[in-house]
Structure 1
Amino acid sequence: MGMIDIKKPQHVSTATVVALGLVGGWTTAKETGVRPLGGAILAAAGVWAGRSWLAKTDVPTTAALTGIYLGAFGVSHPLAKKIGAWPSVVAVTAATAGASYALADSK
């Protein structure tokens, strides 16, 4: 068995990671009924993206992107009451992935 090569943080598409974290976390919680499992996916994606944000940018940008990611999770709940769960998840995911691309991935 060979060694596992993990992609360097500078080469990770953080927009993709945060999209998978938000959509994957929500889908996992919804389909399993185990909210902490969805939270674990959300957290793991956040840590993975954060490591790459820090490698690609600086501490203030990483902190801002982390806040956006966590804020998206928080905003999705009240937004879901107004527009529905799936549209809410799509909206906050698009905004978060867009910010991640603009502030980190496009550098």
Structure 2
Amino acid sequence: MAFRPAESVHTAPIVVTGLIGGYLAARETGIRPLGGVLLGLAGVFAGRSWLAKKGPATTAALSAIYVGGFGLSHPLAKRIGAWPAVLSVTALSAGASWALVDRDS
């Protein structure tokens, strides 16, 4: 299986897939590690493009936002609910990905 060149991939939709898809996979199957696998695969795939397009500093920052958003969604869900928390961190992470990487392509 061949992947598209890293430079031609828009990463914000991949971030959305990883965070929302990972949440849905874990919630609907009851298998939390399955959600983590989807989250991780999407993160690696997005990271490949971040690195190719903008280098290691931007990749590190966006990776921290992505993983940090996942971590933040858990305590945030206790305050505002699961869906609002997931959607909030997804919007932040995808927005950062678009602003720092995708907007220029």
1:66 aligns with 2:59: no
- Unaligned ranges ≥5, structure 1: none
DSSP 3-state at the match of 2:101: helix
Q: Which of 34, 47, 51 is residue 54 of structure 1 equivalent to?
A: 51
| TM-score, length-scaled by structure 1 | 0.94
1:26 aligns with 2:35: no
Determine the C-alpha separation between the residues in 2 that align with 1:11 and 1:97: 17
Determine the C-alpha separation between the residues in 1 that align with 2:93 and 2:7: 19
| TM-score, length-scaled by structure 2 | 0.96
Q: Which of 64, 82, 87 is residue 85 of structure 1 equivalent to?
A: 82
Determine the C-alpha separation between the residues in 1 that align with 2:2 and 2:68: 32
Deviation of 1:65 (Å)? 0.3
Deviation of 1:5 (Å)? 4.1
DSSP 3-state at the match of 1:95: helix
Structure label with greater radius of gyration: 1
Deviating beyond 3 angstroms after TM superposition, the runs of 4 or more aligned structure 1 residues are none
Determine the C-alpha separation between the residues in 2 that align with 1:5 and 1:71: 30
Deviation of 1:7 (Å)? 1.1
1:45 aligns with 2:42: yes
Aligned residues: 104
Aligned equivalent of 2:8: 11
- Unaligned ranges ≥5, structure 2: none
DSSP 3-state at the match of 1:13: coil
Determine the C-alpha separation between the residues in 2 that align with 1:65 and 1:51: 12
The answer to which of 5-14 and 41-50 deviates more is 5-14
Q: Work out the percentage of aligned pairs sharing the same amino acid.
A: 59
